Structure 1
């Protein structure tokens, strides 16, 4: 480094001397050619000084970027983010320089990246998470030369859905085709399987030369009790939906943010025929309500146990999982909320948080079947609208309308209003069914705002979805 500085300084002195001499001669002769030589000499000096600045600049950031391990996460519900941050922490604890970043911050693989770890979810029937849509289109739409890159992929999925871990596999194929070298084979995780996560820990630690850490384990479930269960849609053409209220044995557990997700732990059936499955639900209340509220449609054995078999006072194994990707904005920007069915749960919590913060620029577009019976907390919505806490309320009843039957239809009809709202800085939140609604709303927003604009909104956190 000192030698480079010495050479740079010597070169600078020589160039300065040449420039001084050329300048003296030109001013003595006062002819145009001399002025040109002065200009050329000045340009040479500027170029040399730029090189000197580059050569003697602090190398700290460049060296760090060469040794950093970048852990890139693509999350839909926050679990991939949680695991990426745990991975980065594990590496730092092992003496490695590691940092976690959202894939939404990238439009390509960083040019100086030598070691990358990807923790990516698959959403829906094989789709990339919303935050990854721009990266998937821009970066993965071409084949760069990544021959110096070593990488690993942790693919999160659920075998109950088609195209298990599809985005993780797609990313892995793209990296291989671009010449990158895998440290180890892609690791698949089915519904948070502990064994697969332990395998990932060990593979990362061994590949990166870090000490193998203690096993991760998903946070343990706490003891909660069923306080209340109430049918919300008697006489509905759809499946019965219940308002469920749960309270913890430890009052300190009443702690979450609007947008977070609750996990109901596996439990043994009353007839002891087997273990009922783990289930996730959007939270419909705030801690200030004194209970954790859910809106549960009776569909499958897990939800049937919660809505039909469990009795008031029964223990429920439960944990709250942070889902920062669906949290409400901290500021007073407008918010457009769109959903259907039991998606009212997540939207209700967001509205409660917005109202409590005094933020009233809220536009809700919500859809169900029939206005007379499918009133899943619709009384709350109408009261908030009447009080001015919800600026605009569009209720869409699919069995009673010939035009805008679904929420996506209402968005298209209101395209100019949607565009103006977004131009005012609005964020968009979508909660509800993956099949039909989520894809329809996405298509409508793309038609109104454009693909690139919506992808930029997703990458910046202004387009967020909790769909299932």
Structure 2
């Protein structure tokens, strides 16, 4: 069971898959793709791969070693049977590209697919259930309990403030949340908050009226049907109007992921998110719920997901943080962790539109700089007409400093926009350090990204 993961989700699914196979009587070896070599593949009879796609159809960063060292060897694999679960987001042009690239390569080496590649769009639970059903051909053939069912914990929205009033960009909000039971769980800088979104109450009531349903209809457990509908995909058609039958057929809404901007030591969980809008101007599902519809004091369905690929580096070696827009959320958590650890050699490069409106956490960051917790702070604003328009321009202008920091053992973390910023920063790093040095940083886990 092999995984290639950028944010930790593929790794999580690989663990679930391995456990399902073991429960069915199979012996399973679980490996990251960078732990797989040609000899291991040649000696394996059955292999399952769960592969994420990042960037512009790119493999996860840690998978580059496999591409460079194994795929270039082109070993013959006539005895290998395999299957691929490809994770992606259909809104991007290169949907599931790395999973398909891996599948194509295995076929060219003579390996035999057990079944067609299974594509998963944005953690679609139906696709994951299909993958789980296909696993029934292994072991004793039993299908294990569904491990894609949401398991959210109840949190409470304590506060919500607009972070960029007057901005020409989309509204950005800071949210402060607390667990409903009062006990704050543990997480690290770089971890993810998975939010279970809800439809606006007016949306649910409108849908129920359109299908001639009583808006006060109740279920056997005493809950209102509309409460169950709020967290589910609203179907286009119904087979009858019995509340219990409707509820039983509902599929949960897909979760949304947000970088956590705070640490448990701050006694709350803080998010920074931009309200997304559809072409007709209506807000996106999750951002609309969190920014517009959820009242202060409302329940928020939330679960934490560890994101080891973006956890802080060990020790107090130099740290370069690069990001734009709401990507500053994850970077702020890293800076807070560095302050807690007493590590002062931090360099932050951040880009947004206007200094006056879009410098998220700006006063706090400037205070940290004055107090010596940020050694260099390069904030650039594309609409202000400064010498550098984008964060990649500021990085290119400081190429000599980047080389010095890398020579001193720095780790580089990038968080923010997949379109524009991340590939442009990657190109600057390759130009400043050389492609070979950049690849070495990736292999050493000293250059990592959390982009979306």
TM-score range, shorter chain: 0.7 to 0.9
What do the CA deviations read for 1:280-300 (whole angstroms, capped 9, x no partner)?
A: 111101112222111111213
Aligned with residue 413 of structure 2, among 412, 429, 449 = 429
Gaps of 5+ in 2: 208-232, 234-252, 278-283
Partner of 2:215: none
What do the CA deviations read for 1:236-279 (whole angstroms, capped 9, x no partner)?
A: 12112111111110223532211111111131222115657632
Aligned with residue 374 of structure 2, among 390, 394, 401 = 390
**2 CA distance for matches of 1:266 and 1:97?**
38
**2 CA distance for matches of 1:109 and 1:349?**
41
Q: Is the contact made by 2:157 and 2:296 (CA closer than 8 Å) also made in structure 1?
A: yes
Q: Is the contact made by 2:152 and 2:303 (CA closer than 8 Å) also made in structure 1?
A: yes
**How do 1:117-132 residues align onto structure 2 when only pairs under 5 Å count?**
117-132=48-63
Shift of 1:141: 4.3
What do the CA deviations read for 1:72-108 (whole angstroms, capped 9, x no partner)?
A: 2111111001111222233344443322222233465
Task: Name the stretch that deviates more: 388-397 or 245-254.
Answer: 245-254
**Which protein has the larger Cα radius of gyration, Structure 1 or Structure 2?**
1
Partner of 1:38: none
**1 CA distance for matches of 2:403 and 2:31?**
30
Partner of 1:296: 273
**2 CA distance for matches of 1:119 and 1:136?**
15
Task: Name the stretch that deviates more: 278-287 or 216-225.
Answer: 216-225
Question: In the alignment, does 2:351 pair up with 1:367?
Answer: yes
**How do 1:184-223 residues align onto structure 2 when only pairs under 5 Å count?**
184-207=115-138, 212-223=143-154
**1 CA distance for matches of 2:184 and 2:190?**
16
Question: In the alignment, does 2:159 pair up with 1:235?
Answer: no
**1 CA distance for matches of 2:146 and 2:195?**
23
Shift of 1:350: 1.0
Partner of 1:100: 30
> What's the TM-score, normalizing by structure 1?
0.80
What do the CA deviations read for 1:126-180 (whole angstroms, capped 9, x no partner)?
A: 3222222343344334533111212111111222332321211111111111100
**1 CA distance for matches of 2:374 and 2:199?**
42
What do the CA deviations read for 1:398-429 (whole angstroms, capped 9, x no partner)?
A: 22245321111111111121111112111111
**1 CA distance for matches of 2:434 and 2:145?**
47
Partner of 1:466: 450
Partner of 1:68: none
Aligned with residue 396 of structure 2, among 405, 412, 433 = 412
**How do 1:425-464 residues align onto structure 2 when only pairs under 5 Å count?**
425-464=409-448
Partner of 1:224: 155
Task: Name the stretch that deviates more: 403-412 or 273-282.
Answer: 273-282
Partner of 2:8: 78
Shift of 1:435: 0.7
Describe the shift of the 1:143–1:321 C-alpha distance in structure 2 as closer, same or farther (beyond 3 A): same
Aligned length: 398
Q: Indicate the structure whose relative CO is greater, using CA pairs within 8 Å and at least 6 residues apart.
A: 2
Partner of 1:40: none
Instruction: State the secondary structure of the residue aligned to 1:243.
Output: strand
**2 CA distance for matches of 1:310 and 1:159?**
28
RMSD over aligned Cα, in angstroms? 2.1
Aligned with residue 341 of structure 2, among 352, 357, 361 = 357
Q: Is the contact made by 1:91 and 1:210 (CA closer than 8 Å) also made in structure 2?
A: no
Partner of 2:249: none
Instruction: State the secondary structure of the residue aligned to 2:131.
Output: helix
Partner of 2:260: 283
**2 CA distance for matches of 1:330 and 1:375?**
29
Aligned with residue 245 of structure 1, among 162, 172, 176 = 176
Describe the shift of the 1:96–1:225 C-alpha distance in structure 2 as closer, same or farther (beyond 3 A): same
Instruction: State the secondary structure of the residue aligned to 2:403.
Output: helix
Instruction: State the secondary structure of the residue aligned to 2:201.
Output: coil
**2 CA distance for matches of 1:155 and 1:189?**
6
> What's the TM-score, normalizing by structure 2?
0.82
Question: In the alignment, does 2:319 pair up with 1:335?
Answer: yes
Partner of 2:107: 176
Partner of 2:82: 151
Name the structure with the higher helix share: 1
Q: Is the contact made by 2:26 and 2:138 (CA closer than 8 Å) also made in structure 1?
A: no
Describe the shift of the 1:268–1:239 C-alpha distance in structure 2 as closer, same or farther (beyond 3 A): closer
Aligned with residue 18 of structure 2, among 63, 88, 94 = 88
